[in-house]
Structure 1
């Protein structure tokens, strides 16, 4: 499994569901070092990029495989995310990978 680089804090995407707003849940996220990404009410575009990624991940990865253990899932999903970011090109992004798009934006 890929380790998280120093200085990078993972983000957990969630919706406005009641569970995700509970102080106990939010405290637990703080304890394990996760930042919560939660869209504001009435603004579905806040998390549109993540919703799009989750939709693709389900179609391209999760629904096409069977996993025998959580560790197998974690390792496979880590490889999928790495491929998605570094290898998989997108026609809507003129044949560039997400990393290439981000690097262009940072260079501008």
Structure 2
């Protein structure tokens, strides 16, 4: 790991939140905190179970982790 407070320390979380914000769209479209929370939970479930990426050999994150262990 790099030194404290450098870009490499924050890269995984910044990447995650960038994808989340990009795919959810404008926050003003939600009518309240409960609706936003549900949308975020649904997106996280989708990302972990259905979102397939080539860098993970065409598998979802959960499938990739199960095969790696």
Indicate the residue corresponding to 1:73 in structure 2.
36
Q: 1:96 is matched with which residue? A: 59
Query: Following the alignment from structure 2 to structure 1, what is the Cα–Cα distance between the partners of residues 67 and 9?
Result: 22
In structure 2, relative to structure 1, the CA distance for the partners of 1:94 and 1:63 (3 Å cut) is farther
Aligned pair in 2 of structure 1 residues 45, 101: CA closer, same or farther (>3 Å)?
A: farther
Bigger-Rg structure (1/2): 1
Is there any run of 5+ residues in structure 1 with no aligned partner, and where?
A: 1-38
Q: What residue is the counterpart of 2:15 in the other structure? A: 52
- TM-score normalised to structure 1 length: 0.53
1:8-48, CA deviations, whole angstroms, 9 ceiling, x for partnerless residues?
A: xxxxxxxxxxxxxxxxxxxxxxxxxxxxxxx8223x22232
Matched, 1:41 2:9: no
Structure 1 stretches of at least 4 aligned residues deviating more than 6 Å after TM superposition: none
2:47 corresponds to which residue? Answer: 84
1:65 deviates by 7.0
Question: 1:104: Cα distance to partner?
Answer: 2.4
Q: Structure 2 vs 1, CA of residues 62 and 40 (structure 1 numbering), >3 Å: closer, same or farther?
A: farther
Instruction: Report the TM-score, using the length of structure 2 for normalisation.
Output: 0.78
Aligned residue pairs, count: 67
How much is the aligned-residue C-alpha RMSD, in angstroms?
2.1
